[in-house]
């Protein structure tokens, strides 16, 4: 909740980062008194050999009591309920989530059901419905984007009602986030680009929103600097393990920033484009980010200008007159999208008209703009933007 002049800051997640971070998992489980973890992941992660890498790193001390790799990209209540059944059948005592945002959020949903011994996740929708610690949850992100490994939030679809359900509680934070570059080395360039831009937007929106505070700012600025330095080089050199680790840390920092200072209109619109048109989250966010910055420029100019140093470096700041630095930040974000477009052979979309569905069709049409706008106005992310969308300032 945003209250002018007041803030709280929380990050209760232990982060373990490094080239051998996976090997810390057995010790982490031991400190949590867990011996029979259920590994939750998705098929793409399993097929990329990432599950095998994790299992190799934690053996022989830890053998998962169950492994399920069936989480779909847009997971929903039914998936969560089914996985909770598997957890119970195998007498598991912890969750090891290995995947992107959908896997990590699904694991959080499963953790609610198995910890509360319930079957209907909808009873816990909203803020603050949980009142006690959940089962141990370790999060191993395989993208450098969502930051879900450190957030107090889970977003899970209810396909029956065509809604996204939001769950927020301090008890949803994983016990530990494990950042190991081996988890993202095989991430395709377009996915690396889109998820990296999503993390950049988390940091920028946290820094320029009304709920910003000095603690979230510190996390946001470091995230922006790391992404500015490493995103394009990692696309150019995908096996750059140091760069991959830096991006994973950046996504983690940005996750802490927006978990405490919220996101803004870019995410409100991005959620709406995703819901109406089925466009992947990171793709929406990358496209919309420069427009969101421009829209809020008259209110956010000085804050936006401060981002030029972490994003582009001291040389660019020195060459840019002070009154042009905010505009230059927007230009740098556009250049970043342009470079990612070129480096991914055109797979990273710069505009909504460039987005292509699997069958080659264009999922975003002019007719969809109105339902997108309506849905965006109903999104919780608009509460901390500096100007509302009716033209009134706050």
CB 218 → Fe ion: shortest distance, Å?
Answer: 20
CB 317 → Fe ion: shortest distance, Å?
Answer: 27
Closest CA relative to residue 255, chosen from 154, 184, 384, 337 = 154
Binding mask of the shown chain, residues 207 to 236, with x at each position contacting Fe ion by CB under 5 A: ------------------------------
Tokens of 111: 């953790």
CB 332 → Fe ion: shortest distance, Å?
Answer: 19
Output helix, strand, coil percentages for the chain, rounded to the nearest 5: 55, 10, 35
Cα–Cα distance between 96 and 245 in angstroms, integer? 20
| Pair type for strands 37-40 and 94-99 | parallel
Residue position matching structure tokens 């999208």 = 337
CB 202 → Fe ion: shortest distance, Å?
Answer: 6
Question: Which of 51, 206 has the CB closer to Fe ion?
Answer: 206
Question: Which of 198, 225 has the CB closer to Fe ion?
Answer: 198
Q: For Fe ion, which residue of 68, 76, 198, 225 counts as binding (CB under 5 A)?
A: 198
CB 226 → Fe ion: shortest distance, Å?
Answer: 17
Q: Phi first, then psi: what are they for 337, rounded to 5°?
A: -60, -40
Question: Which of 80, 201 has the CB closer to Fe ion?
Answer: 201
Residue position matching structure tokens 């250049």 = 335
Binding mask of the shown chain, residues 308 to 347, with x at each position contacting Fe ion by CB under 5 A: ----------------------------------------
Query: Across the strands, what pairs with 153?
Result: 168
Number of residues that bind Fe ion (CB under 5 A): 1
Contacts of 72 (CB under 8 A, 6+ apart): 42, 79, 102
For CA atoms 282, 110, 79, 27, give the dihedral sign: positive
Question: Which of 37, 292 has the CB closer to Fe ion?
Answer: 292
Contacts of 335 (CB under 8 A, 6+ apart): none
Cα–Cα distance between 394 and 390 in angstroms, integer? 11
| Stretch near Fe ion under the rule CB under 5 A, chosen from 20-28, 90-98, 197-205, 349-357 | 197-205
Question: Which of 228, 264 has the CB closer to Fe ion?
Answer: 264
Question: Which of 67, 364 has the CB closer to Fe ion?
Answer: 364
| Stretch near Fe ion under the rule CB under 5 A, chosen from 52-60, 191-199, 210-218, 311-319 | 191-199
Residues of this chain that interact with Fe ion (CB under 5 A) are 198
């Amino acid at each position: 909740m945003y209250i002018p002049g007041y803030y709280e800051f929380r990050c209760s997640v232990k982060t373990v980062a490094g080239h051998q971070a996976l090997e810390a998992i057995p010790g982490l489980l031991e400190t949590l008194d867990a011996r029979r973890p259920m590994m939750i992941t998705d098929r793409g992660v399993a097929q990329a050999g990432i599950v095998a890498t994790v299992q190799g790193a934690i053996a022989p001390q830890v053998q998962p009591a169950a492994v399920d790799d069936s989480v779909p990209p847009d997971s929903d209540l039914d998936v969560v309920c089914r996985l909770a059944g598997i957890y119970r059948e195998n007498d598991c005592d912890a969750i090891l989530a290995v995947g992107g945002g959908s896997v990590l959020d699904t694991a959080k949903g499963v953790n609610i059901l198995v910890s509360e011994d319930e079957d209907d996740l909808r009873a816990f929708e909203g803020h603050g419905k949980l009142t006690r610690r959940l089962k141990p949850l370790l999060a191993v992100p395989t993208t450098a984007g969502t930051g879900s490994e450190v957030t107090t939030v889970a977003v899970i679809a209810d396909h029956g009602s065509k809604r996204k359900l939001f769950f927020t509680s301090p008890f949803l934070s994983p016990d530990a986030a494990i950042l190991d570059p081996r988890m993202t080395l095989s991430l395709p360039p377009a996915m690396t680009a889109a998820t990296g831009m999503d993390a950049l937007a988390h940091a920028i929106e946290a820094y320029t929103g009304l709920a910003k505070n000095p603690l979230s700012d510190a996390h946001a600025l470091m995230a922006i600097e790391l992404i500015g330095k490493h995103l394009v080089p990692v696309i150019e050199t995908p096996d750059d393990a140091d760069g991959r680790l830096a991006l994973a840390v950046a996504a983690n920092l940005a996750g802490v920033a927006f978990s405490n200072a919220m996101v803004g209109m870019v995410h409100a619109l991005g959620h709406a484009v995703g819901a109406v048109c089925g466009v992947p989250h990171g793709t929406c966010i990358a496209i919309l980010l420069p427009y969101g910055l421009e829209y809020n420029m008259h209110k956010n100019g000085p804050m936006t200008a401060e981002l030029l140093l972490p994003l582009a470096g001291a040389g660019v700041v020195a060459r840019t007159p002070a009154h042009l630095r905010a505009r230059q930040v927007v230009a740098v974000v556009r250049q970043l999208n342009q470079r990612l477009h070129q480096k991914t052979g055109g797979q990273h979309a710069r505009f909504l008209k460039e987005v292509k569905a699997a069958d080659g069709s264009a999922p975003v049409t002019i007719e969809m703009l109105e339902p997108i706008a309506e849905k965006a106005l109903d999104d919780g992310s608009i509460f901390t933007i500096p100007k509302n969308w009716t033209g009134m300032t706050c």
